[in-house]
Every structure is written in C-alpha cells, then in structure tokens.
Amino acid sequence: MRCERPEADSRLERTLDASRWTSDRRDASNFGLIIDLYIMPLSRYRAGDFIPPRSAAGEPEGVLMGGSGAAERRKVFIAETQRFMMTLPDEIADFTWNEYSDVPPRCYTVSSESFDALQQEGRRHLDKRPTLGALFGARRYRAQVARADVFLPTLFETMFDRAGERYGSTHTLLRELGLVEWSRPAREASKIMAQAGRDSVELRLPLIVSSEL
C-alpha cells in the first residue's frame, strides 16, 4: 500500500521520503537527519508493509519498504503489538487501535533544522519542575513534543517507555503545539506536526516519528 499525500494546508511543504525504523533519533541537532512522520498501524510500519511516496536512491519505484515478505512479516508484528497493548499504563489500559487497518498510510517530512528548533523550544517553554508539589510526589512535566518517538491517539499526560521507545499522546501533542508562540525556525515543524497529529486523531492510528541519515 502506497504512503499517500494527504490534502492539507498548501503552505506546508511535503517533500516525502522513505525512512526505516530507528529508535535512536532523539536529537535532531545532527542536521544530516531526515525527520519523517508516519500515520499507520505500528505493525505495518515495523514490517515495512507500505510503498513510500518516492524510492530511496538506487531503489526501484513501487517496492515495499520491507520487501516482498513484508505482508507476511506484519502478521508477527500484529501479534506483538497486541501484546504490547496489554502493557499500557493504567491511565489508558482500555485504549486500543486497529492494527489490522488497511487505511492508506499518511506521511510527512520535516526539515531537521526546524524539528531541532521545535524540540529545543518545547523543552524551554513547556518543561516544568515541581516546587512544593515535589514534597507530595509531584513529577516534573516533560514536553512530549520534544521527546516522544510514537504518539498514540488517546489522551494522557505522562510519557511512558517500552523497549527503548518513548510513547506520548497525540491529544497532548496538539495541546502543547497550541501553547507556544513558536519562532520562525520552529514554525514549519510545528505546523506539519499539528497536521500529522490531526490525521492521527482522525484515523485513530499512531503517529510515528522516524529519521535516517
């Protein structure tokens, strides 16, 4: 299934590109990175069971990211993701999404410079340290827009880690994006992240942030 170009604000540049799953992307200050946003089931993404909007250099058009065995491999990832759903925090323990979804995946690309500015400003403006609340077990608030690798389309405030990946909430992402007057360098990333977040809510599918050198 081809990764489609959504209809959205024409001011948002979508130079779409292919990217394989990486969990160590977390500092976009390396400007050699390509930052890609994918809205699709986790199993489809991890199996590479989709056709990117354009092929990587040297690869033919119309080839699945994960190769000819991607669809079969996705079945394994569906089972793994369903087991993962059973480990969600108590706050969202009843939340699920459709890992069997055949909705065409949506993809965006963000410049690494703009994404890095968004991360830095998110930490500066949104991170909060508890004061007196620390005496009663209050935790520091850490901005999801600056840290999460995957955003799930349900509401929760505190990110959680599973297998080295950080999970946030699409709803919280959209709220955070609306709280800051982003600088010019961060504005491109903030607009594209907001559009991808709205797609995630509309489709009730995860938003995955990925990168490659």
The model's pLDDT over 65-74, given as tens digits with 9 standing for 90+, comes to 888 899 999 9
DSSP per-residue codes, 131-172 = SGGGGGT---B--GGGT-SEEESS--SS-EEETTEEEEEHHH
pLDDT, residue 26, reads 43
User: Under a CB-based contact definition with an 8 Å cutoff, are residues 152 and 162 in contact?
Assistant: no
| Torsion angle of C-alpha atoms 76, 209, 32, 195, degrees rounded to 10 | 140
Pairing of strands 165-169, 106-110: unpaired
Phi, then psi, of 134 in degrees rounded to 5: -60, -30
Residue 16's pLDDT band (cuts 50, 70, 90)? very low
pLDDT per residue as tens digits for the range 74-110: 999 999 999 999 999 998 988 999 999 999 999 998 9
pTM over 0.85: no
Check residue 141 and give its pLDDT.
Answer: 77
Confidence of residue 6 (pLDDT cuts 50, 70, 90): low
Distance of CA 176 to the CA centre of its chain: 15
User: How does residue 58 score in pLDDT terms, banded at 50, 70 and 90?
Assistant: low
Say if residue 55's pLDDT is above 70.
Answer: no
Mean pLDDT of the chain: 82
- Cα 135 to Cα 49: distance, rounded to the nearest angstrom: 49
Percent of the residues in the chain that have a pLDDT greater than 90, as a whole number: 60
How many angstroms separate the most distant Cα atoms in the chain? Answer: 59
For residue 57, how many C-alpha atoms fall within 13 Å in the half-sphere facing its CB? 1
Mean pLDDT lowest for which of 11-15, 53-57, 133-137, 192-196?
A: 11-15
Q: Are 178 and 116 in contact (CB under 8 A)?
A: no
Instruction: Tokens for 125, please give them.
Output: 């403006």
Per-residue exposure over 25-57, b if at least 16 CB sit within 10 Å of its own CB, e if not? beebeeeebbbbbbbbbbbbbbbbbbbbbeeee
Contacts with 208 (C-beta within 8 Å, 6 or more apart), sequence order = 37, 38, 39, 40, 42, 45, 149, 150
User: What whole-number distance in Å separates Cα of residue 162 and Cα of residue 152?
Assistant: 13
Side-chain-side CA neighbours of residue 172 (13 Å): 22
8 Å CB contact between 92 and 156 = yes
Tokens of 185: 């360098």
